[in-house]
Structure 1
Amino acid sequence: MSAPVGPWRLDGRIALVTGASRGIGAAIATALAGAGARVAVNAIEAHAEETRILAAGMPGAVAIPFDLGPSGSGARLAALAREALGPPDILVLCAAIQIEADWDIADPDDMDRQWAVNLRETLTLTQAVVPGMAERGWGRVLGVSSVQALRPHPRMMVYAGLKAALGNTLRNLGKQVAARGVTANLISPGAIDTPRNAAALADAEYRARALSRIPAGRFGTAEDCAGAALFLCSNAAAYVTGADIPVDGGMAL
């Protein structure tokens, strides 16, 4: 991605990106840093080394290995970001747990794990960050949803349902904070060739079946998602809120 110019520049802005050690989160963090933002790169403790390596390659960035999920972890992550860089102007909500299971035998503990990360603590993090944006009169909240919010995978009922709930939550938020200079939007990736999807896409039969449902005729890349994310986090999208941009090669059509 070439260096952004004009309204796409984010010089002086502070961004917090969750789920950013690899894949889509890492690509978005890299794009924001390339546009001039100082980025707090968050991912789970198990990916601490990857998180630190990614942050080390970005001017002014910091790594915050920290697990979302436990009660109160959203507020604690917000505090860690403020201590490291200052209050975030941009919040990218990419952290998520995805657990496959047939709906009628889905484990309640697995449901709780997905609910805690994908929505509950994502919302408590938003509660801790967005009021400061509103006070300062500028802010960007970006949720990373999924094509599954519209086309749910039969073995990911909980994950798909929570992505739909994230969309509803951020549209609700966008309406309430728009007059304070804060936008809340989403991108909805489709079949993206990332480490999370590597095992599934390694299966030739599954890969061919998935590809047949994509009008663009190829799988997406994390960088495809980063371009849309950078737009929504910049001044170029100052009059865009409550939007959900599909980044799926037409898969949702």
Structure 2
Amino acid sequence: MPTFDLAGRLALVTGSRRGIGRAIAEAYLAAGARVILNSPDATALEATASELGDNVLTCAFDVSDTEAADAALTSLFDEHGYPDVLVNNAGIQLRGPLTELPVEDWRRVVDVNLTSAFVVGRTVARGMIARGSGKIINICSVQNHLVRPTTAPYAAAKSGLGGLTRSMCAEWARHGLQVNGLAPGYLDTELNASLVADPEFTDWITRRTPAGRWGTPEDITGPAVWLASPASDFVNGQVIYVDGGLTAVI
């Protein structure tokens, strides 16, 4: 369908060396877009780019380092122009009881999962606003809505990301931007490797999720293409749960 075609579009996906970010990058390439991969590890990023083939650019920087991010993005945009699509996907998880959680761990999780979306988002949005069009997709989580013990910084950051998504919509929609969030359920990724390896937790997930299974990064790609395409031009300020029904039941 033409409305889902991304031909001629340039997409920047943060945290795209592996996991959800890489899956979204691959889906965008399949839909016809050029894709800019991002990771702090330049060597590993180039290896991923070579695996994905043509129409792939790289931009190595740590999303939690504001000065480095701004410098890298300025250089990138000077050479290739502003992207048509931004996916704020970079994220980390550091678990621990609230009473024992180091403040440094709290700040690190919030910086990577929330503040980076503000920093990268506003930089990209300036060019999108000047052009009068653009798509921003923030990768949220079911922990925008539900929480578990020992994940407080992650849940707080992802809840904040949902609020930031709506705030971006409130300010930028009139300039032709659509800003939405995707909230994955529990996915079988490297971030969740320890949970996937735990038979008791996997049993709980499969019983708790109506779909009866762990999700995969590929489960996110269809909605990500939709939100990047003209098919979603009147969808704005929404956080869309892609969770196998987890948040729909008790």
What is the TM-score with the length of structure 2 in the denominator? 0.94
1:53 equivalent in alignment to 2:53:
no
Kept in 2: contact 1:39–1:60 (CA 8 A): yes
Map of 2:33 onto structure 1: 37
Map of 1:244 onto structure 2: 239
Mapped to 2, the partners of 1:161 and 1:55 lie a distance apart of 32
CA deviations 1:112-148 (Å, max 9, x no partner) are 1112222223211111110211111110000000001
Q: Following TM superposition, by how much is the alpha carbon of 1:187 offset from its aligned partner in structure 2, in angstroms?
A: 0.4
* SS at 2:81 equivalent: coil
Map of 1:165 onto structure 2: 160
Aligned length: 247
CA deviations 1:26-81 (Å, max 9, x no partner) are 01111111111111100121xx4442233222422112222121232332342243
Map of 1:71 onto structure 2: 66
Mapped to 2, the partners of 1:74 and 1:185 lie a distance apart of 22
Q: Following TM superposition, by how much is the alpha carbon of 1:220 offset from its aligned partner in structure 2, in angstroms?
A: 0.8
* SS at 1:212 equivalent: helix
Mapped to 2, the partners of 1:225 and 1:112 lie a distance apart of 27
Mapped to 1, the partners of 2:37 and 2:164 lie a distance apart of 23
Q: 2:171 aligns with which of 171, 176, 182?
A: 176
- Work out the percentage of aligned pairs sharing the same amino acid: 36
The residue identity in structure 2 corresponding to 1:147 is V
The residue identity in structure 1 corresponding to 2:181 is L
Q: Following TM superposition, by how much is the alpha carbon of 1:84 offset from its aligned partner in structure 2, in angstroms?
A: 5.1
Long gaps (5+) in structure 2: none
Kept in 2: contact 1:72–1:124 (CA 8 A): no
Mapped to 1, the partners of 2:47 and 2:24 lie a distance apart of 15
1:116 equivalent in alignment to 2:103:
no
CA deviations 1:1-32 (Å, max 9, x no partner) are xxxx4011112211110011111110111111
Mapped to 1, the partners of 2:182 and 2:76 lie a distance apart of 23
Mapped to 2, the partners of 1:224 and 1:157 lie a distance apart of 25
Map of 2:147 onto structure 1: 152
Map of 2:218 onto structure 1: 223
The residue identity in structure 2 corresponding to 1:18 is T
1:185 equivalent in alignment to 2:180:
yes
Mapped to 2, the partners of 1:83 and 1:53 lie a distance apart of 24
Map of 1:91 onto structure 2: 86
Long gaps (5+) in structure 1: none
Map of 2:23 onto structure 1: 27
Map of 1:132 onto structure 2: 127
Mapped to 1, the partners of 2:5 and 2:53 lie a distance apart of 15
Mapped to 1, the partners of 2:180 and 2:10 lie a distance apart of 18
The residue identity in structure 1 corresponding to 2:25 is A
| Structure 1: 4+ residue segments shifted above 4 A | none
1:82 equivalent in alignment to 2:77:
yes
Kept in 1: contact 2:135–2:177 (CA 8 A): yes
Mapped to 1, the partners of 2:245 and 2:57 lie a distance apart of 35
Kept in 1: contact 2:3–2:230 (CA 8 A): yes
Kept in 1: contact 2:63–2:120 (CA 8 A): no
Mapped to 2, the partners of 1:102 and 1:73 lie a distance apart of 32
Kept in 1: contact 2:189–2:217 (CA 8 A): yes
Return closer, same or farther for 1:210/1:80 CA change in 2, 3 Å cut-off: farther
